[in-house]
Structure 1
Amino acid sequence: MFILLSVCLMSSPQTCREEQLRWSLDQRSSLQCMMGAQAVIAKWHEDNGKWEIKSWRCVPKDKLLTAI
């Protein structure tokens, strides 16, 4: 399962990108991801404080290429 973050640079809000975070090695449900993702997202933001998270979603690995 992956968490896809849409993030923009705080100092240049028009500079945006998508980050892919591997949430778990096993297949978990999207509901489990939605409930557990906050801690992963908070850690990413702690390490990447120059970026503002605009949105996020959970995507199973087999759907990753079509979700981008």
Structure 2
Amino acid sequence: MFIVLYACLINAPTTCREERISVSVEATAPTACVMSSQFTIAQWSEEHPQWQVGRWKCVPGNRLFRDI
């Protein structure tokens, strides 16, 4: 399972990027991904203070390249 997040630079909000974070959650448990994602996204945000997360979603690994 992956958390796919969309983040923009705080000082240049038109400069955005997509990040894919692998999480160890079963693909059959999207609810578990959503519940654990808050901590993962907060940790990513702390490590990347110049970026602001705008939106995110959980995506199973086998659908990663089709959903985006």
The bucket for the TM-score relative to the shorter chain is over 0.9
* Matched residue type, 2:31: L
Q: Percent identity?
A: 40
C-alpha RMSD of matched pairs (Å): 1.3
| Structure 1, unaligned runs of 5 or more | none
The residue aligned with 1:12 is 12
The residue aligned with 1:61 is 61
Q: Is this contact kept in 1: 2:25–2:33, CA < 8 A?
A: no
* Matched residue type, 1:55: R
Counterpart secondary structure, 1:45: helix
TM-score by length of 2: 0.92
TM-score by length of 1: 0.92
1:17-60 deviations in Å (ceiling 9; x for gaps): 10000011653511110011111111100000100000010000
| Structure 2, unaligned runs of 5 or more | none
Equivalent residue pairs, number: 68
Deviating beyond 4 angstroms after TM superposition, the runs of 4 or more aligned structure 1 residues are none
Q: Distance in 1 between matches of 2:16 and 2:28?
A: 28
Choose between structure 1 and 2: higher strand proportion: 1
